[in-house]
Structures are given as C-alpha cells and as structure tokens.
Structure 1
Amino acid sequence: MNIAFFLPCLTRRKDAPGHMGAMLANHFAEKGHTVFVHVDGNLSRPPVYPLREGITLRRHPLKMTPVSETQILLELGVQRPDVIVGLYTNRACYAQVYFAHRLGVPVILSEQAGSVARREWGLSQEEREAVFLGADRIHLLQDDAAKTVPGHLHSRVRIMPHPVPAARAPAIPGQSEGVKTLLYAARGMVGTDADILLRTFATVSRLAEDWQCLLAVPGWQAGRLQALAESLDIADRVRFQEDEEDLSACYEAAHLFVFPSVTAYHPMALLEAMAHGLPIVGFADCEGINALIHHGVTGLLAAPERREATLAEAMLTLMRDAEKRAVMGAAGLKRYESSFRCDMICEKWELLLNETAGITPPASRSLSTQVPGAKAPLERAFARGAAVNLPEFF
C-alpha cells in the first residue's frame, strides 16, 4: 500500500502529533508499505523525530500558494497514494481534504487538538463539520471527542489513543527512603504549566524535604524557569533536563509525575508516565487529563477551585504515601498495557488504513446527497477558512 502522511510540524517542534505520525510512518514502512511524509516549514531542518531509511520526506513552504499547491498535487500524483492520512492541529486540515478530493484518493483526518485549541485557532463547529464531511474516516483520540461530532458522521469516526512504546525499565514509585523525584515533562506543550508546578512545589517542599523536582522542558524555557526557581528560593531542589526524544532515564528515576495543564489534550507525557508505572497528578477540569487519569486509581485529579492549593494537596497526599504511589503506579501501568500499547494501536491503524483504502474515491460522492441542505453553509465555511482555492472541493 502507498501511504501519504501529512505531518505539519515534524520539522518545526516536538509535539505529540509529530511523535505519533513518525511512529506510524516508521511502523508501516517496516511492514513493507511505501510511505511518503509531507511536512511544511523549515525546508532544510531534519525531522525532530527520526524516520526510517526508505521513507520519502517531502518539504513544502509553510504558507500555501498556488505554486506550492500545484507542486504538492504533482508530487502526490507521482506518489499515487492509496490513502492520505492528515494529522492536524490547525487549519492544515482544509488542505489535506482538498488534495485528497482533487486526486480522488480517500483520506483519514486525524484530529490532534481538543476544544480549547480549536477555539484558539478559530475553527467554528460549522467549519469543523465541513472538513469532516470531506473525510472518509475521522480519527479522534478520546471517546469524549465523538460527542462533538454530528450524528450523521458517527459512522466515519474511529477512536484510538496515541501509541506509546513500552518502558525500557519501570519506575519504582513506592521507594520510601532517600531523595525522591517529582517529574514534569513538557513534550511540546508551551504554556505556564511548569510555572504553576514550581510555585506549588515551593509551597509543598517545606513539608516534604526529601523531594526534588525535575523539569524536562525545551532549552529556551529553562532559563526563565531557573530564574523563577531562584526567586522562589527552591533552585537547589530543582533540576532541568532538555525535553529530548528519549526521556526514559527521567521517568525511571521519578517517583511521581505531575502535569498541571488546563489546556492539554491527550498529552503524550501522561501516557509515557503511565507506561513507566508512575502515579499522576493533574487538574480535574482539563479535558485531556481527566480522561486519562482515573481519580483515586491511577492518580489524583485536583479541583480547579484555588488551583495551586488543591494541586499542593494532591501532590502532598502522594508524596507522603509510598504505598499509595506504588498501588496507583501499578494500576496506571496495567491501564497502559490494556489500552495504549504501541503494537495494539498500530494494529488498529493497519485495519483503519485497509478499510479506508477500499472506499470509493471521494470525487465520486456528492456532498449535497450526504447531508441535505448542507452544501451552501459548508461552502461558506470552506471559503472563510481555506488556505487554498477550495471551492473546487464542491
């Protein structure tokens, strides 16, 4: 099978979509499929996640123009993909559907963002529905996302989490003697999560003197966070690690994982922590965290009211109880093994690709026959949001 993956950020920054896309591309190349990976921006920079030898990498300008549009269509015409897979976190989804329809190739749209991110880049529900109408299959990461998809599209929805490799060695969260480590890993997240954690750790550190904090963050963030740690008088108990591809040693040395985000959606770092058998603390009102942490079973969810106070309480509960950390960490590892193993998710993707490749090419379908009365408003939605000349889509 010829598979064309669109991974917009693969050469620009480390994030969960890039990690997932590279893992899938490598998996299918290893299985003997012909794999093409299309990226945009940073036309000379190598992928932040390595690709197997034999995978064709094609780079395109970040800003879509008539010239680059024609270039991509010509390249796809030569590649002759049986299916296009578009992993997106922004309006790149428009172009991915457009290319598929121009070429008559079935397309899987993989939505990599939650409701908060969709609001940030201004994708209305009408526009989202327009994009989904153009997809042959819609991949979502969590069950709750399916509730936001119109009923007439539910038959196209497939739900699969990010695939996460098994741990090289497990963590030992139940350690009770010696210095223990509280870990945070950004994994492409850019925000104030680490700031919240440092301020909270400054509060609890006086009550848990045998704990240190390890932050795995991008290098450009480390200086600012180091200055914050110094201002909070905890610099001697905070260490920094570059947020690199392999953080195995950090997870293995940790005893508790804390991810105080309110905007993250299906964060890869949580799944990696789970794979290492670490208990996890996060906020109950974060849609990407409350779906992954089973409160009281695999970790603790802090209430959103008085955030830093409730986060401190949840952290201290586990920092003071080695047995509870061990039990919750084991429960998290069990959940990882039953739901998030790499081989399991890749096998489901194999079935999805085979299913989608056999679908009648979208060019032969009429939008107006799929949803009566939908054509006009959805044409307007595409016209507002498209980066390319999408009226031909209809």
Structure 2
Amino acid sequence: MTEHPLNLLFVIKSLDSRGGGAERVLSDVSAELVRRGHRLTIVSFDPPGSTDFYKIDPRIARVKAGIGNVRGKSRIGETIKRIAAVRKAATSLRPDVAIGWMHSGYIPLAMALAGTRVPLVASEHIDFSHYRTVPMQGLMIRLLASRFASVTAISDRVRSGFPPGLRDRMIVLPNPVTAEPERLADPVGGAEKILLTVGRLFDQKDHRTLVAAFARIAPRNPQWRLRIVGEGELRPDLEKQVEELGLKSKVDLPGVIDDISAEYDGAQLFVLPSKYESFGLATAEALAHGLPAVGFADCPGTNELIKHEVNGLLAQGGDREAALADALERLMTSEGLRQAYGAAGPKSVAHFSVAAIADRWESLLYLMAAGRALT
C-alpha cells in the first residue's frame, strides 16, 4: 500500500440472518480492506444481540444500533431514529469516507451527513427498474443524488439504466467472487448427481419454470436430484408444485445454508433460471468452483457470465420451460461436456477475485478522501 490508511464508515440496514449476495460482498470487501491496514466501522440497525449471517473480520468495529424491524419496510419514525444514530456515529468516528450499502443504507446516511464534509459513496446493487416499482425510494434517491460523491454499480448494464443525473457520477465495481481452489466441484460425480440452484425464493428467480423443466426430464435421468438452496415468500408455492408433479423424492428445499461453498462443491451442474440479474453472484460463484452452468440467453447478468458452449449453456427459445429442459438434459447426459465447461469456469471469472475488486474499491476511496470528483 502506497498511501496512508483510511478511516472508513460503512452503513447497511442489516447483516443478521439475511444471507443475501450484497451482504456477502460487504463481508468480503471489508475483510480485504481491513487486511490492508484500513480502519473500518460497520453500522447496522440490527438488535445488539444479533448474529451476523456472514462472518465479519474481528478487526472491524461493529455497531448494532437496534432500531426498528430490519426485515420489513422502514417506518418514518424508525428512519428518523436511524439517521440520528448514524449521524452520532459519523460525528464520533470522523471518517475519511462513508459508504452506504444499498439504498436502505445510503439514504439515511446521506441525510445523516448533511452539513458535514464527509464524502459519501452510495453502493448500489440493483437495477434502477426496481425503483419504478417503489416510486418513493426512487424519488428519495433522485432528491439526494447531489449529496453522493460517487455511486457504485455492479455492471455497465446496471449503470446504463440509471437516470443521467445519477449515471454521470457512477463507477462500475463488480461483485467479488470467492472460491477456495482446493474445494473445486467434481462435475462427473458419483451414482447420485446434484443439479443445484442458489437464490432467494421469489418471482425474479423463476424457480417454478425450473421445477417444471426438471419434471420433464427427471424420469429419463433418475440419477439426478434438484437442490434449490434459498428461502423466500414463494416456498409454499414451490412445495405445492413439487408435490403436484410427484417430485418430492427428487427435489430438496433446504432453505438458507451457512456453508454455501459445500453446496457448490457437492454439485455436478448449476442452473439459474432467473428472468433478470444485476450481476448473478451465485452463477459467478458456481463457475469459480468449477461447475458448468445453465441459464437463459435473455437474462441480463446471467448472459454476461455464462459463455455459451464455453463454461455452460444459455437456453433460448419462446418456450422457456422446454428450452431450459433441453439445455439441462444436454449437460446431464454428457460427462464430457460437464467436465470441459466446468474446467473453463474458474478462469472465466478470475478477474472478479476479491483482491482485484478490493483494488478498485481502494482506488475509489482514496479519490473520494482526497475530494477529487470522478471524470
């Protein structure tokens, strides 16, 4: 490190039992930054006695403000109290740069820093199209945009979807991907083989199409099981679908798993049936673990990570269920393709290593601390 250590304040709504991709990214990036000698404090609104789902480096100061219901929509009274708590922390810590993680972190942080000279980086992790479904959030972001020294987006495509006033101050910082080299998957496997998907159980991920596609090909491929790792509001619907299709003995719904690496390592094939992704962290992690991957050719995020017939297959066609079933069965019935595509996976996402992404974060934070605008 050629420059002085920075004093950094991160604000996120919650790190307690959520298991989301953005929370995992914060855990990885913050650990690498503190390893490099920077001083970090992470403030969340979790209850004081709660446990962070992802491990936070013990060298990082951890503040749990215990304000409001962190798993539901924020009320006005809660937001006001959170702003006050963040302002108190910022006044005490006097950080060189403050980083708000997702809109639920950077909106109260922007208000808390009013009248201070602390530069604010708003770390965005979703498409702007999301805010069209929640207009009040979108309005708040537009109103506070002038207070953001910089805004991060996780891909060029995500950045391009933001309004000019925000897009002009955005920088692309992809999510880091972690995989332990000694824990690569075996795409061939044993007598029983696992088709794995990882993601929250809600409409965007389109697990219903996956279950229906698997039902088409399961009878011809009895050695395969479908494992859907994640939790969400659509669990009852998926459980009902699995039962109606006679797949209870072939489909697992284990919920959120602590050791996600073990899930990748134990699978032979990965699939993400999403309609859209901001980045596709689970797909990138699967590739890093040496798993061949399948997704949809029209799914933003997924189609930027899966290289058709290089590290996996992209299903395409008007009938999503049939197209996905065909792509899956092509790989389920070919050990050679699974091995070839799996071997290409780690190299295809090597530029998303934690060290490489932390380098980019570090450069941005030094710029912000120096008061230099992005060009």
TM-score for both structures, normalised by structure 1: 0.81
| Counterpart selection for 1:172 from 177, 186, 200 | 186
| Counterpart selection for 1:51 from 32, 50, 56 | 56
2:41 corresponds to which residue?
36
Relative distance call for 1:210 and 1:85 in structure 2 (3 A) is same
Distance 2:139 2:254 in 1: 42
Instruction: State the Cα distance separating 1:179 from its structure 2 match.
Output: 2.6
Given the alignment of the two structures, is residue 21 of structure 1 paired with residue 33 of structure 2, yes or no? no
CA offsets, 1:102-147, max 9 Å, x none?
Answer: 3211111111112442333236877655444332122111111232
1:290 corresponds to which residue?
303
1:352 corresponds to which residue?
364
Q: How does 1:180-199 map to 2 (within 5 A)?
A: 180-186=193-199, 188=200, 190-191=202-203, 193-199=206-212
Distance 1:247 1:269 in 2: 10
Distance 1:65 1:111 in 2: 19
Equivalent pair of 2:107/2:144 in contact (CA under 8 Å): yes
Distance 1:57 1:161 in 2: 25
Distance 2:79 2:291 in 1: 47
Which SS does the other structure have where 2:208 is aligned?
A: helix
2:213 corresponds to which residue?
200
1:341 corresponds to which residue?
353
2:71 corresponds to which residue?
none
Which SS does the other structure have where 2:8 is aligned?
A: strand
Which SS does the other structure have where 1:244 is aligned?
A: coil
RMSD over aligned CA atoms reads 2.8
Aligned-pair identity in percent equals 27
Instruction: State the Cα distance separating 1:166 from its structure 2 match.
Output: 2.1
* Segment of structure 1 superposing worse, 162-171 or 91-100: 91-100
1:322 corresponds to which residue?
335
Distance 2:14 2:129 in 1: 19
Equivalent pair of 1:189/1:264 in contact (CA under 8 Å): no
Instruction: State the Cα distance separating 1:295 from its structure 2 match.
Output: 2.5
Instruction: State the Cα distance separating 1:201 from its structure 2 match.
Output: 0.8
Instruction: State the Cα distance separating 1:207 from its structure 2 match.
Output: 2.3
Equivalent pair of 1:142/1:291 in contact (CA under 8 Å): no
Distance 1:147 1:223 in 2: 36
Relative distance call for 1:348 and 1:92 in structure 2 (3 A) is closer
| Counterpart selection for 2:155 from 142, 163, 169 | 142
Instruction: State the Cα distance separating 1:343 from its structure 2 match.
Output: 1.5
The higher-RCO structure (CA 8 Å, 6+ apart) is 1
Distance 2:237 2:47 in 1: 26
Q: Which amino acid aligns with 1:206?
A: P
- Which 5+ residue runs of structure 2 have no aligned equivalent? 1-5, 69-74
1:300 corresponds to which residue?
313
Relative distance call for 1:169 and 1:91 in structure 2 (3 A) is closer
Instruction: State the Cα distance separating 1:22 from its structure 2 match.
Output: 1.8
Equivalent pair of 2:7/2:38 in contact (CA under 8 Å): yes
Relative distance call for 1:269 and 1:207 in structure 2 (3 A) is same
- Which 5+ residue runs of structure 1 have no aligned equivalent? 362-369, 371-394
Equivalent pair of 1:12/1:42 in contact (CA under 8 Å): no
| Counterpart selection for 1:254 from 245, 267, 287 | 267
Which SS does the other structure have where 2:304 is aligned?
A: coil
Relative distance call for 1:314 and 1:36 in structure 2 (3 A) is same
Distance 2:224 2:153 in 1: 38
Distance 1:154 1:223 in 2: 39
Distance 1:47 1:124 in 2: 26
Distance 2:232 2:135 in 1: 30
Given the alignment of the two structures, is residue 87 of structure 1 paired with residue 92 of structure 2, yes or no? no
Distance 1:43 1:221 in 2: 30
Instruction: State the Cα distance separating 1:76 from its structure 2 match.
Output: 0.9
Relative distance call for 1:305 and 1:82 in structure 2 (3 A) is same
Equivalent pair of 2:7/2:40 in contact (CA under 8 Å): yes
Instruction: State the Cα distance separating 1:224 from its structure 2 match.
Output: 5.8
Which SS does the other structure have where 1:278 is aligned?
A: coil
Distance 2:12 2:336 in 1: 42
CA offsets, 1:224-255, max 9 Å, x none?
Answer: 64443232112222234342232222211211
Instruction: State the Cα distance separating 1:3 from its structure 2 match.
Output: 0.6
Q: Which amino acid aligns with 2:307?
A: H
Equivalent pair of 2:331/2:337 in contact (CA under 8 Å): yes
CA offsets, 1:3-54, max 9 Å, x none?
Answer: 1111223125111111111222222223332211121254542221121224
Which SS does the other structure have where 2:355 is aligned?
A: helix
| Counterpart selection for 2:116 from 103, 106, 114 | 103
* Matched length: 358
Equivalent pair of 1:111/1:138 in contact (CA under 8 Å): yes
Q: Which amino acid aligns with 1:93?
A: Y
2:282 corresponds to which residue?
269
Which SS does the other structure have where 2:305 is aligned?
A: coil
Relative distance call for 1:71 and 1:312 in structure 2 (3 A) is same
Distance 1:138 1:298 in 2: 31
Distance 1:7 1:304 in 2: 40
Distance 2:145 2:185 in 1: 41
Distance 1:283 1:42 in 2: 40
Equivalent pair of 1:7/1:21 in contact (CA under 8 Å): no
Q: Which amino acid aligns with 2:62?
A: L
TM-score for both structures, normalised by structure 2: 0.85
Instruction: State the Cα distance separating 1:156 from its structure 2 match.
Output: 3.5
